[in-house]
Structure 1
């Protein structure tokens, strides 16, 4: 008798209609060619949400999805991808939000590969999933509260073993910059909170008491031991320490392997814990490698650090748990924590505020401002668009835009001198005001495509300080400062900031440049795939390979689901391996978990297919200049990098030491070459009949052909 067990995948997903209150179950089987996570979610969005749908309409959908490796025992396999229509970028095209924490693992252990939320409730509700018991429950008692209070209340009602994912006031008020928070401080952004708010969905509570069926558990255990012993580094897979240490051949100040002697979790329960000098192969000290609180906030953060924490299945632990009494006193929260930008928001404001603030980077006051702001935005469920919110606030205050455009009474509500008198309560007031979405300042939470036009400041897009990298409304995320054309091109590919870390992990890993060139030659076909920082050379085929690989591995990880802040394993901290990683680990784990014999090339092709699917959905929904829906000219109307990339550093020539300025013709060539790697049309940048045949996407080809969108 054939084995009917579904290995890796749960084999089914939930469909929840908030209008009819009907909950049904669908099979995952038809979607397995798109792996899971991002692939599964994007396929459902493509099939079920028509082009031109209003993100806030009842017909709009949200797909929360995990992958076959989630909660399977594979290290760092605890993330979730959520797909929906953008609230803050041009044409409201499909986007993905990603979150760590415990949500994905709980969902998988409850026996589900995804949740499709459709319709709209007439009153506030939350979705409660406890294994096969799925209920839509009244949430009126938590409506109007922040994510912290909501998490506490729902945990008390449903049990402290549940994972609570919720929105705050920003989402309830339909602010385009709103996110969902799970496990207290793990966010999923890109406007997800506003879409949930439009459906009156306050949150999702998940408890899973099951397990994930794994085809070869011993192989998974052996691969995990091998990976943790020999391959994995620290956060962003940095593989050398940041200080000179007895065991290490190399060190690099920029490395996120920040543990060292006399560096402590100073507020650890039971007494301070020294991070010390954890060596590769010491399994029980791996969690000390990443002291991200001091990496993000500077040395003053040490005295506030309780511990470094992590998501499900993470041995690295890049999440900072801090206790900062003055944050609570200023209106934020005393207990704070985060993994990324929300942990150091004021850093982005200091250069733009200039002499309007007295706070210095890495000072004790800087730590306090950061934690006040970070804990406030998380509680409000307010999303920063990879720090764009903070840059925009600082710019609009320092350049006088707020004073010019806000009603006098609204501008006077705030004591702006608090920037100089060191009172971070100002930012609590400002952020709460924005989250209300009922005032003029709130337009800054609609994103630059709205407020720059409304307040007559379109030149902000073409200013280096803005960090806006695309005219459709998103900022840099490891862009041209990350291997020049490589980072620049992949920043164009999605409908929001790309969140690709495959390249920047390699850039900052800490190994000597010459050694990285050797690895580049082995992986991307030439040492010329990489350049020294700010000393770039013209575009070449190896760079195109590197860019394609960066996109594909990111998409693959978001589909499996794995943490792209550490994966892929391009390099290793192990000298005996000559610092080489193992790029076949994804395929080895996939085969061991699912029982499906799979190669790395197979997975890369699947990643390219998923990226092509999102590209097709973008083509189908993108508008032409006349407003009509359907536009396959991706090069001119989507992949258009902002002007500052070509005009920055006046007086310096491109391809000279000391600048990352781009050359127009060379960047156009870079786009053409990367399009070619995917099989897309090299002039337009859209999918072709031939590439859709290559990826076995007959249904997508048929629809795009009917719409006249295939060149």
Structure 2
């Protein structure tokens, strides 16, 4: 059936690697789920099998885009991957997100999603050239790192193509693995799913277009509106230093352009200077944030330019030219590109000092190795875990004498990044050692090895060290064993509630784009009060008890996050609640997503109507979690935080200035209020039949009821 809306390609591409069958189905069945994450969750629900693992052949992995992807709408260059994840307890469903140009290319090839099921008998990759889809041998690239694999697929498909691939970690079924596409864009947690299918990667060449309903002038007007209120990465709307054009500044802002910053490795070095908010043709200079990862000195030596995703003016990817990568470490190239986590995880593991050469090299060497092997860190969980355990001197009693002697600890002690050259192969190649390789296996599968090694305070060999009591590890959701990701450390109960919903770290930046906007607290609090009610926004480390406004704020953030991951647009920039424009009193515009959707699809919706469509997928996700866990009480089985969240800073109480400590009773009250705001059972946190049916999810209520999981 023909889909009359703009934005949609209209087809879901299916590939069965067991039978070599290739077919399509209409996207029409998924329009109510908005695309991206919504498509992924609906397909996984429809193909659910009790007890299935992420590495089982019949598990489905879905790569999907939304109606905005490839439309030219600002920041619409992302793709979602959805599947059961070996990286979380019970292999529950998770979704990850990848930028670059792969999502639009899938749309231009004529598809809204690629769903892969089955497992090939030999290594393969999937070639998609518009309607010509084939399964190709990957024997020549199996065993190679991601960088060589991407080069080989690109060579086979042509320079105009896009692709993604796993590294050796995914091939070896390491749970903490992912895949990447060129330019440093990555999605974590599903590399082992691809590896279990013998699927090395996917190459796409699309020669079609994304049809949109709007006229060119209408799109231009909306673009002009957005460019007049957009900030930088994390929607920082003020620069990091005092500048002539701005009333405010914030040292934590990712709006780094100023006189001291130079793209020193560019063919012709670029001295940035100030970049005022109304210089629209220079927006791409704002986010020169390599100094956050390697320091000012090495930024001015190594930064070649900023890169980024399709249709994004922000350009948050740092492209560095680091001669030492070849001269000292013998890598094949001196270039490395990534953003944020790609650079910072290595220094979470090593005891380096910011601003030093060791720090700068650890960031780049560590990022290069992890990306090439395809290792996922779980938002730094594995690296915080290693560093805390090393400082506590636990490894002597956890590893065999043979393995302990095999690890070059002196390199770590001396801050030498060569330690990572030794460590990361232990993760990516867990079976390549004469000893048990407990260290590599632990970092490649922390969800399992926290239990295997009894790191929960029940192992007398390590003085009952308790990972759930150690704030330095940053393990936040105890049940799901996932890392703190913009939780109590920046947004009190709002961030904490966001961190209980999903089965992995939530990757939600809706609140960060407000909390870290850079404006004075009183001004942000005023804006949040207008949006959510009085008391929604506390100063960091000066928290007040839970209230309705905070609950509304937290729910709104999750809905916007799911909205962005479904449409798909970047949640590291949107929503635009604030702006750098003093003439707008620093207010942004939260209706932009609805304006984009309406113009592109021709389906006129309000912000509230679009949010309701996104909430449908959140509700399905919650029902799915109860189904997969076979749980009658998600409050006790899923939404449990680590002890350190409540016990940090023992000399301070919740609410005292200077602590991120939460209060146990207050958080239980917050959960009850949160559940009620979603329409879930207030005791168990499971959606009620009435709620599910109100979102057109009666089939989910029926399934839960048949399993005895639906609240009474």
Query: Would you say the 8 A contact 2:174–2:445 is kept in 1?
Result: no
How many angstroms does 1:89 deviate by?
A: 1.6
Kindly report which structure 2 residues correspond to 1:101-500, keeping only aligned pairs within 5 A, or say none.
Answer: 101-190=100-189, 192-218=190-216, 219-228=218-227, 230-269=228-267, 271-302=268-299, 303-328=301-326, 329-332=328-331, 334-350=334-350, 353=351, 359-438=352-431, 439-458=437-456, 459-471=466-478, 472-500=480-508
Distance 2:516 2:565 in 1: 21
Gaps of 5+ in 1: 354-358, 623-629
Q: Does 1:696 align with 2:696?
A: yes
Distance 1:116 1:217 in 2: 32
Q: Tell me the equivalent position of 1:513.
A: 521
Between 1:569-578 and 1:690-699, the stretch displaced more is 690-699
Distance 1:65 1:169 in 2: 24
Q: How many residues align?
A: 692
Between 1:148-157 and 1:613-622, the stretch displaced more is 148-157
Alignment deviations for residues 141-160 of structure 1 (CA, whole Å, 9 cap, x no partner):
00000001111112122212
Distance 2:139 2:487 in 1: 43
Alignment deviations for residues 290-333 of structure 1 (CA, whole Å, 9 cap, x no partner):
01211233223311111111011110011011111223322555
Q: Tell me the equivalent position of 1:638.
A: 638
Q: Tell me the equivalent position of 1:57.
A: 56
What is the DSSP-based 3-state SS (H/G/I as helix, E as strand, rest coil) of the residue aligned with 1:491?
helix
Alignment deviations for residues 34-78 of structure 1 (CA, whole Å, 9 cap, x no partner):
000001110100111223102111111101100000010100001
TM-score w.r.t. structure 2 length? 0.95
Distance 1:145 1:478 in 2: 35
Alignment deviations for residues 678-698 of structure 1 (CA, whole Å, 9 cap, x no partner):
111111111101111221212
Distance 2:528 2:5 in 1: 38
Distance 2:183 2:253 in 1: 27
Q: Tell me the equivalent position of 1:625.
A: none
What is the DSSP-based 3-state SS (H/G/I as helix, E as strand, rest coil) of the residue aligned with 1:97?
strand
Between 1:168-177 and 1:390-399, the stretch displaced more is 390-399
Distance 2:296 2:671 in 1: 41
Q: Given the superposition, is the C-alpha separation of residues 689 and 4 from structure 1 closer, same or farther in structure 2, using an over 3 Å criterion?
A: closer
How many angstroms does 1:422 deviate by?
A: 4.2
Distance 2:547 2:298 in 1: 43
Query: Would you say the 8 A contact 1:608–1:678 is kept in 2?
Result: no
How many angstroms does 1:184 deviate by?
A: 4.2
Alignment deviations for residues 82-106 of structure 1 (CA, whole Å, 9 cap, x no partner):
1101212221110001111111111
What is the DSSP-based 3-state SS (H/G/I as helix, E as strand, rest coil) of the residue aligned with 2:186?
strand
Distance 2:400 2:325 in 1: 30
Distance 2:669 2:415 in 1: 49
Distance 2:644 2:37 in 1: 32
Q: Tell me the equivalent position of 1:524.
A: 532
Gaps of 5+ in 2: 432-436, 457-465
Distance 1:285 1:665 in 2: 49
Query: Would you say the 8 A contact 1:125–1:136 is kept in 2?
Result: yes
Kindly report which structure 2 residues correspond to 1:599-678, keeping only aligned pairs within 5 A, or say none.
Answer: 599-622=606-629, 630-678=630-678
Distance 2:111 2:26 in 1: 10
Between 1:252-261 and 1:155-164, the stretch displaced more is 155-164
Alignment deviations for residues 643-685 of structure 1 (CA, whole Å, 9 cap, x no partner):
1111100110111111111111110111111111111111111
Alignment deviations for residues 350-381 of structure 1 (CA, whole Å, 9 cap, x no partner):
4xx5xxxxx31221220011111110000001
Query: Would you say the 8 A contact 2:157–2:204 is kept in 1?
Result: no
Kindly report which structure 2 residues correspond to 1:27-42, keeping only aligned pairs within 5 A, or say none.
Answer: 27-42=26-41
Distance 2:667 2:3 in 1: 51
The runs of at least 4 aligned residues of structure 1 exceeding 4 Å deviation read 2-6
Distance 2:481 2:645 in 1: 15
Query: Would you say the 8 A contact 2:65–2:80 is kept in 1?
Result: yes
What is the DSSP-based 3-state SS (H/G/I as helix, E as strand, rest coil) of the residue aligned with 2:511?
helix
Alignment deviations for residues 180-228 of structure 1 (CA, whole Å, 9 cap, x no partner):
01114211102x1100000000000011111100001332222012111
Distance 1:16 1:220 in 2: 35
Kindly report which structure 2 residues correspond to 1:581-596, keeping only aligned pairs within 5 A, or say none.
Answer: 581-596=588-603
How many angstroms does 1:434 deviate by?
A: 1.4
Q: Tell me the equivalent position of 1:356.
A: none
Q: Does 1:82 align with 2:81?
A: yes
Alignment deviations for residues 595-644 of structure 1 (CA, whole Å, 9 cap, x no partner):
0011100111112111110111110010xxxxxxx113111110001111
Query: Would you say the 8 A contact 1:327–1:369 is kept in 2?
Result: no
How many angstroms does 1:168 deviate by?
A: 0.4
Q: Tell me the equivalent position of 2:434.
A: none
Query: Would you say the 8 A contact 1:70–1:79 is kept in 2?
Result: yes
Q: Does 1:543 align with 2:550?
A: yes
Alignment deviations for residues 521-578 of structure 1 (CA, whole Å, 9 cap, x no partner):
111122x100111000000010011000111100100000010000001011111111
How many angstroms does 1:5 deviate by?
A: 4.3
Distance 2:473 2:554 in 1: 24
How many angstroms does 1:400 deviate by?
A: 2.9
Distance 1:92 1:682 in 2: 26
Q: Tell me the equivalent position of 1:626.
A: none
